[in-house]
A and B are shown apart, each in its own frame.
Chain A
Amino acid sequence: MAVLNIENVSKTFGETRVLEDINISMAEGEFLILVGPSGCGKSTLLNMIAGLESVSDGRITLDGRSVNDASPRERNIAMVFQFYALYPNMNVRRNIEFGLKMRGVPKAERAQTVERVARMLQIENLLDRKPAQLSGGQRQRVAIGRALARDPALFLFDEPLSNLDAKLRVEMRTELKQLHQRLGTAMVYVTHDQIEAMTLGDRIAVMHAGRVQQLGTPREIYDDPANRYVAGFIGSPAMNFIECGLTGSGGDTAVRLTGSDTETHLALPQATAAKLAEHGKTRVLMGVRPEHLVPAAEADTRRARVTCAIDVVEPTGPDTYLHTELNDAAVTARCLPSAAPNTGAHIPLAIDAERAVFFDCDTEQRIA
């Protein structure tokens, strides 16, 4: 049975529509990510699940029970906030047990729960401190502990790591994933960080302009984006978008690519070519991830290649990125650090046509 069911949910603030027709169903034990830029409505949706915002239209069910009109107290959920939201006047112990106290759990049981949670998060030595005496990472642990204490059916996370420094963020990310594996409780996690989304989620809902653009596993979202927005949002460095003219027809349809001087016809896989031909437009937007645009020397010799002038060489450690132009669009290619060319060099780049995706230039929806 679905832990959480969001059916045709919309949200309006006065005249403005911030969420439109959201449909998400979450399985038991699933880790669901809501990812999108600020203002896309992801936090509003989370607050609606929590009961902090009302539902304008549609229905939200938790454990099969409609909770549209239920207060947060009546929903079996716990939430972790971006700015920790620890009660400043209470020490860590009282922060963790506050939710239990409000629900009338007896003192002995509360003490047991605090012990268990503190051990799990390794914060036993902090129990008597006030939030002001804790570091950012410790505060977030306590905030997570407060959520754990209640043993809810669903955890909600509202950008819990975005206030931490980069190193701690990566550590906590791994810990959260371990925690989820250990507890097996369903979690909804809001973030604007696509790397967090990819690494943590069982499934990801990419949100933009109040709508779910795509809902799928990290692999599906990455390899099979539904539209240009999703393709551009997920992946770092971002996917390259190249506007191209088409040549040939039917299964022979190919795209024209111009590098620094030479023009190439990139042959496409049969299925892709057929879909493009069927779509009927002569110009399309091709999306290629940097790792599928590499120096020809590193690639299969049968792949089409196009010579490009390298404008900028960017070493990042494991990979080196090359900035150049294809069909007058700025693109990024990836190469091995050991084989990095010099700035200004003209080198042939090979494109993995199997992995290229195509969008309509106007609607930006996926064609093939």
Chain B
Amino acid sequence: MAARTEDGVARGGPIARCIVYGILMLAAAYFLLPLYVMLTTSFKTLPQIANGSLLSLPSPFSVSAWGDAWSSACTGGDCNGLHHYFWNSVAFTAPAVALSTAFGALNGYVLTKWRFKGSELIFGLLLVGTFVPFQMFLLPMARVLGIIGLDNSVAGLTLVHTVYGIAFTTLFCRNYYVAIPDELVKAARIDGASFISTFRHVILPISTPILMVCVIWQFTQIWNDFLFGVVFTSGDAHPITVALNNLVNTSSTGVKRYNVDMAGAIITALPTLLVYIVAGRYFMRGLTAGAVKG
């Protein structure tokens, strides 16, 4: 019989629990296996990859593939590894994440606490922006970037990602701020705070969870983007996602270097993983806050 436990959640007996945990562990193994293969392969030497089993541990343990992927592997024309493109990606991801999050917070604040005639319409239009697929933007955006002279540049990618991200960050922040009582803003206005100082002193300090959501979401989207990167930039200005693709598909010796490919893929994925680890505990909290508070 399921008994009510202290936290109010009904749980089954030991057998039922074993089944549940068994299934969960299988699922975890299923999702972790590719990561395991990637990691072990990246530390193996080429002969070991060719002759050994896919699941065996690396022996001898070698980090040379990581060095190659970072600084000497060929990505199309040049053979300087991923490091240049890594910093490219950092150079447009960091400002684009910061800008789109800042604009989203400001938009959400205005759309909930300083409503004006037509603000619901504007929010509706912004919402549509979240449904528009990347591909639809490509041609008009390429034209715009050309006209304003930002084509094939890191600054151009920053602009594209900022604009595209605002629809999402606005949606997140607006839904978060809608749950904050209007009285708080009224009190600040009575206290003499202006539009901006109310935002700075009252709203922003209680926005951490939703800002974290925006940062994680935007960072993942922008860092992992391939399409905008491959369309709007070329050669030296490529982001790391495009460079990784080139690295995997270029072979200077005719031999497929799986260890270098794996190391490159992990290097590319590492920043998003880090952001999840650092900001992740706020993520679920931010997404569900407001949903439970009526």
Q: Which of B9-17, B42-50, B184-192 contacts A (4 or more CB under 8 A)?
A: B184-192
Chain B: minimal CB distance from A92 (Å): 14
> Across the interface, do A102 and B197 meet the contact criterion of CB distance under 8 Å?
yes
Which residue of chain B has the shortest Cβ distance to A81 in the bound complex?
Answer: B183
Across the interface, do A71 and B189 meet the contact criterion of CB distance under 8 Å? yes
Cβ of A72 within 8 Å of any chain B Cβ, yes or no, is yes
Chain A residues, CB < 8 A from B206: 88-89
User: B184 near A85 (CB under 8 angstroms)?
Assistant: yes
A99 CB–B CB distance under 8 Å: yes
Q: Chain A, interface size: which category? A: 20 to 34
Cβ contact of B181, chosen from A52, A78, A83, A98, cutoff 8 A:
A83
Q: Known contacts being A87-B202, A88-B206, A89-B205, is A78 close to B184, with CB within 8 Å?
A: no
| Closest residue on chain B to residue A89 by CB atoms | B205
Let me know if B186 and A73 touch, CB within 8 A.
no
Contact with A along B161-184 (1 / 0, CB 8 A): 000000000000000000001011
**Interface code B222-233, partner A: CB below 8 Å = 1, 0 otherwise?**
000000000000
A207 CB, min distance to chain B CBs, angstroms: 21
User: B residues within 8 A CB of A71?
Assistant: 189
Please determine whether A52 and B205 come into contact, CB atoms closer than 8 angstroms.
no
B205 touches A50 (CB 8 A): no
Cβ-neighbour of A99 out of B181, B183, B186, B191 (below 8 A)? B191
Closest to B184 in A: A85
Could you tell me if B181 and A85 are in contact, using CB atoms closer than 8 angstroms? Answer: yes
Partner of B192 from A82, A90, A102 at Cβ < 8 Å: A102
Which one of B184, B190, B194 lies within 8 Å of A79 (CB-CB)? B190
**Which residues of A in the span 66-110 have a Cβ within 8 Å of any Cβ on B?**
71-73, 77-79, 81-90, 98-99, 102-103
With contacts A89-B205, A89-B206, A102-B197 taken as known, whether A79 is within 8 angstroms of B187 at the C-beta atoms is: yes
Q: Is the CB of B184 within 8 A of A72?
A: no
Interface string of B196-208 (1 = CB under 8 A from A): 0100011001100
Please tell me which one of the listed residues A51, A88, A146 contacts residue B191 in the complex, with CB atoms under 8 A apart. A146
Bound together, the chains give a CA A78 to CA B197 distance in angstroms of: 18
Smallest CB-CB separation from A97: which chain B residue?
B191
- Which of A71, A81, A85, A88 has the most chain B CB atoms inside 10 A of its CB? A85
Main secondary structure of the interface of A (DSSP, over half): loop
> A87-B202, A89-B206 are contacts. A78–B190 as well, Cβ < 8 Å?
yes
B142 at the interface (CB under 8 A from A): no
Which residue on chain B has the smallest CB distance to residue A150?
Answer: B191
Given contacts A85-B181, A88-B206, is CB(A103)–CB(B186) below 8 Å? no
Given contacts A89-B206, A102-B197, contact A50 B190 (CB under 8 A): yes
Contact between B190 and A82 (Cβ–Cβ < 8 Å)? no
Shortest CB distance A11–B (Å): 17
B189 & A87 in contact (Cβ 8 Å cutoff): no
Decide if B193 is an interface residue (CB 8 Å cutoff): yes
B191→A102 contact, CB < 8 A: yes
- State whether B186 touches A98 (Cβ < 8 A): no
A73 and B183 within 8 A (CB): no
Is there an interface contact between A72 and B190, defined as CB atoms closer than 8 Å? yes
In Å, the complex CA distance between A78 and B190 comes to 6
Q: Could you give, for residues 341-363 of chain A, a 1 whenever the CB lies within 8 Å of some chain B CB and a 0 otherwise? A: 00000000000000000000000
Interface string of A181-214 (1 = CB under 8 A from B): 0000000000000000000000000000000000
Please tell me if the beta carbons of A102 and B186 are within 8 angstroms of each other in the complex: no
Q: Contacts A83-B181, A87-B202, A89-B206 known; A52 to B191 CB distance under 8 Å? A: no
* Residues from chain B with Cβ under 8 Å of A87 in the complex: 184, 187-188, 201-202
Q: Give the chain B neighbours of A146 by CB distance below 8 A.
A: 187, 191
Interface residues of B (CB under 8 A from A): 181, 183-184, 186-194, 197, 201-202, 205-206
- Using A52-B186, A102-B197, A146-B187 as known contacts, list a sample of 20 further A-B pairs with CB atoms less than 8 Å apart, ordered by residue number in A: A50-B190, A72-B189, A72-B190, A73-B189, A73-B192, A79-B186, A79-B187, A79-B190, A81-B183, A81-B186, A81-B187, A82-B183, A84-B183, A85-B187, A87-B187, A87-B188, A89-B205, A98-B191, A98-B193, A102-B191
Which 4 residue pairs of A and B lie closest in terms of their CB atoms, listed nearest first? A99-B191, A89-B205, A85-B183, A102-B192
Selected A-B contacts with CB under 8 Å, 5 pairs: A52-B190, A73-B192, A79-B190, A81-B183, A102-B192
